[in-house]
Structure 1
């Protein structure tokens, strides 16, 4: 590689470099030819603090191909600095985002090879493919449960008028799967204030989380069964039954264009998501089988996005603040006393241990767990809970948008404080504010494309 003449050397100091993915298991790296650099090359390599025979990793920020030229221009991100080079890279195909290993040989820069993509890069790619096709679970469940009584309209045949169609009941397998979902969704009256220390409510919450759909594959690996009470698996059983009714196999589901919710298209990675208006129960013409399959495809995509997003947040931290060592994004369906489905959004993150610096007797390091819970209640309106737990110390902040709810929460804070104390926790901060918290914005370019080990 060579630096075009006339390029100014980069500054000697720059931001802390990001490491690339480990080369372990990548196989032998292809070696590209090297070219003599102009006299300024030594200054630029010295400014990058590259010693002779020293290797480092660089990220390909841009590939510029000039028509009719044998060389390719690359814009490399080397140790936090941009470096434009001309390279004859032979059969090594480079694309923006690739990581390459380079070595300084005197005043030459040698390309040792391209590193194999890290596992999180594949996760990020899969996540990006699902992002535009998410269906709001609350709206989807409302339509699904309405089909228990309304049935489905058959798809139109050529020359058939919509008015001539008559609705048909759901297939038995689809009906059973939906009734199981409705039966196992907790009701808003299931948990009473102050019962958090009792064993039964704790077990109910554990069951609620386990059957949310996020752990479907793990549960199948432990207990191979098609009848597990799991949201994702239940939706899959509805899909299979509807396809079988049409004389089609499960492989046809991959050809269906998922139905997407506008709010999830505008902010696909926002979690918790700002509450959207609760959809009203459908009183018009029932959906067709094709429309219901598109709806189910979007709902399954939403669960898949939450699964992939959880892995990416833990595998590739962004640049804002400390990064969690593990993340879990959950959407938990529940029903109102009127059997109307709602969704609570839960974000659980574990932050790394840190000790107390600047003291002769440092404190024992301890992980901090942070929980965010968002839901929209009919009378109380939108509520958001932020809880932080480190060892036996806990703090909590409640956000309410309605003034009447704010007053009610303030009245209930002593009961919450006592309930936490009964669990053996030391409450350091407990407050309620009006409005909603400023959510952390997840950016695609920071969290999903760049890769580092």
Structure 2
């Protein structure tokens, strides 16, 4: 890994800046503005943004004159002034601003010369955008050193500018990720996958607002399956999809549970990539896509054609409805678990098949939201461990109704465990496993389960939104412990709480990778 060393303490600006400050040539306005500042007067200015173009630096200033008027100016300079710098300027000519040296000197406090490890502890993953990059003068025979200003995008010091020295040039405008080694030392973290994570986060923000809960669609499919006047092929698809859903009692068997997770739609793309055509027949997402492809041909006046993609099969009405849903719905937090329940209301002048198509498209979007949440929460943690996440949703038949069971599985491995697994020398139980479940089972109400398996020891916490359900579960925990012990499981703490799990900070893959000033 390449080291990035931060600069030592700075007490004055560069010699070039001092000379420029004396001659009034530090800042050059991009457009002449004669008389902007009356002769003999000064104005306060703040650097809003900084961009390097070749050997020059382009600045945007917010100028506040003595009468209170504010003006934004574009100027160029021979030396960078970090965003947030407060300076006092005067005008020498129509196209030049002189910067007062003492104010420029004071403004340097906005550039971090050291990292405060009480705010950004050693091991913290810092993310930032490169604003400038300059080759420093070097003595003969000495290696090249590049000095850059980096705007921090995360941590407690987000928004600050960090001055760093690097043995290699940093591309201007690029995003970098580095781990804090000390108050004056950073270590590059490879960018492989970081841009993918950003893309996933952006897609997930949109995707989650197009999704809707599965029960609405499953109820509509039950009605379709009982309708003798429905299109035969469409009704057969509805019956096939409903028949593929597991019953609650079946999930007590490990093989049936594994099969239900395998058919949840989370692994459809992997099955297709691996050529497992036979396993696709019972896959939930595959059946939903098959249903979507058949529904338009059953609409009155629809042409008989074999659609080739989801975009082709969805009529304009369904796309517009999903777009309207996206505009008016509150934005859920990306990566949140469980996904909130969302039902689509029927639209005026909409036929049953059009409503069915809209519900099916929203159900596919919900499964895709789970899949992208899995990708978003998979990656290398700040401590170097690898976290892998699988998140999905399984609709379970419970009597005459369907209950969505949301599942999130996470595996966390140390670098040594990763190496052992690659050589097939690792016991799977040596990794840290987490499982979260969320479901609403009548008459118990909404329940959430969080369990952790570490070094073969299982511990868990349960939350019930209904207080009487929490009391009931609490009385049954002793029996649950005995049954687990009888199965040879080493059991740690087990507890049940009323309400919902706390939503405070958790150990996650760092996802904030957005330049808010871009």
| Cα shift readout 1:28-83 (whole Å, capped 9, x = no counterpart) | xxxx995999xxxx9xxxxxxxx973458876679xxxxxxxxxxxxxx9999515
Q: Is the CA contact (8 Å cut-off) linking 1:370 and 1:388 kept in structure 2?
A: yes
Q: Is the CA contact (8 Å cut-off) linking 1:257 and 1:297 kept in structure 2?
A: no
Determine which of 209, 213, 235 is the counterpart of 1:175. 235
Length, aligned pairs only: 356
User: What is the distance in 1 between the residues matched to 2:335 and 2:262?
Assistant: 23
Give the match for residue 344 of structure 1. Answer: 405
Q: 1:442 to 1:426 in 2, by over 3 A?
A: closer
| Residue 379 (structure 1) shift | 0.8
Give the match for residue 222 of structure 2. Answer: 145
Q: Is the CA contact (8 Å cut-off) linking 1:348 and 1:372 kept in structure 2?
A: yes
Give the match for residue 209 of structure 2. Answer: 132
Q: Could you say which structure has the greater relative contact order, defined with CA pairs below 8 angstroms and 6 or more residues apart?
A: 1
Determine which of 473, 482, 489 is the counterpart of 1:418. 482
Aligned-residue RMSD, C-alpha: 4.6
| Cα shift readout 1:125-168 (whole Å, capped 9, x = no counterpart) | 433342321122233323333333358xxxxxxxxxxxxxxxx6
| Residue 268 (structure 1) shift | 4.5
Give the match for residue 91 of structure 2. Answer: none
Q: Is the CA contact (8 Å cut-off) linking 1:349 and 1:370 kept in structure 2?
A: yes
Give the match for residue 82 of structure 1. Answer: 161
Q: Is the CA contact (8 Å cut-off) linking 1:133 and 1:298 kept in structure 2?
A: yes
Give the match for residue 369 of structure 2. Answer: 305
Q: 1:100 to 1:354 in 2, by over 3 A?
A: closer
The DSSP-based 3-state class of the residue aligned with 1:375 is: strand
Is residue 53 of structure 1 aligned with residue 144 of structure 2? Answer: yes
Give the match for residue 46 of structure 2. Answer: none
Determine which of 316, 332, 348 is the counterpart of 2:394. 332
Give the match for residue 115 of structure 2. Answer: 13
Note the residue ranges of structure 1 that are not aligned, 5 or more in a row.
22-31, 43-50, 63-76, 86-91, 102-113, 152-167, 356-364
Q: Is the CA contact (8 Å cut-off) linking 1:60 and 1:100 kept in structure 2?
A: no
The DSSP-based 3-state class of the residue aligned with 2:492 is: strand
Q: 1:427 to 1:397 in 2, by over 3 A?
A: same
| Cα shift readout 1:398-437 (whole Å, capped 9, x = no counterpart) | 2223333233323322331122112322112122222221
User: Which structure: larger Rg?
Assistant: 2
Give the match for residue 291 of structure 2. Answer: 238
The DSSP-based 3-state class of the residue aligned with 1:384 is: strand
User: What is the distance in 1 between the residues matched to 2:145 and 2:206?
Assistant: 38
Q: Is the CA contact (8 Å cut-off) linking 1:124 and 1:449 kept in structure 2?
A: no
User: What is the distance in 2 between the residues matched to 1:307 and 1:219?
Assistant: 14
Q: Is the CA contact (8 Å cut-off) linking 1:58 and 1:78 kept in structure 2?
A: no
| Residue 344 (structure 1) shift | 1.0
TM-score normalised over the length of structure 2 = 0.57
User: What is the distance in 2 between the residues matched to 1:443 and 1:253?
Assistant: 41
Which protein is richer in strand relative to its size? Answer: 2
Q: Is the CA contact (8 Å cut-off) linking 2:407 and 2:436 kept in structure 1?
A: yes
Q: 1:265 to 1:235 in 2, by over 3 A?
A: farther
Q: 1:410 to 1:262 in 2, by over 3 A?
A: farther
Give 1:20-59 correspondences, 5 Å limit: 53-54=144-145
TM-score normalised over the length of structure 1 = 0.64
Q: 1:263 to 1:206 in 2, by over 3 A?
A: farther
Give the match for residue 214 of structure 1. Answer: 266
Give the match for residue 245 of structure 2. Answer: 185
User: What is the distance in 2 between the residues matched to 1:116 and 1:218?
Assistant: 19
User: What is the distance in 2 between the residues matched to 1:443 and 1:354?
Assistant: 17
Is residue 123 of structure 1 aligned with residue 200 of structure 2? Answer: yes
Q: Is the CA contact (8 Å cut-off) linking 1:270 and 1:441 kept in structure 2?
A: no
